Amino acid sequence: MAEAVTDLTTRALEAALGCVSVQHEVAANNLANAETPGYRACTVSFEGALRAAMRSERTGGRRGALGAVRPTVSPTGDPVGPDRNNVSLEAEMLTLSEASTRYQLLTRMVDRRLQMIGTAIDGRSG
């Protein structure tokens, strides 16, 4: 995004979108390997890192902390089945649904944010 509109909120939304995209990709990959013997499902975490980066930037800490947020992908500790695979179809479908909903909400927030900036520049509403 253009530097002129990259305030803390916009940078946080951008970082969150990237992380949620990875979450969706990992869940889709887990589902694709649901019948692969020996496959270990992975999970994605980023919320804590995102919160810490936002706090750091908001309190005058390191500008650019949000741009450095990377989701952590790690194997789940779920039990394995007879084929040594531990993918839970239900859990992965739930994760996909949550990631899709989060992504849609975040894109709406970015859109609304850009509309607000446009309104401020134009001096018009709507």
Q: Which tokens go with 30? A: 């887990």
Name the stretches of the chain with pLDDT < 50: 1-4
Residue 106 has a pLDDT of 97
Residue 87 has a pLDDT of 97
Give yes or no for a contact between 11 and 120, defined as CB atoms under 8 angstroms apart: no
Q: Of 108, 98, 110, whose CA–CA distance to 47 is shortest?
A: 98
In this prediction the pTM is 0.86
Residue 1 has a pLDDT of 43
For 14, phi then psi, to 5°, come to -60, -45
Q: Locate the DSSP E strands across 39-122.
A: 42-45, 72-75
Residue 126 has a pLDDT of 53
Q: Which tokens go with 70? A: 């990377």
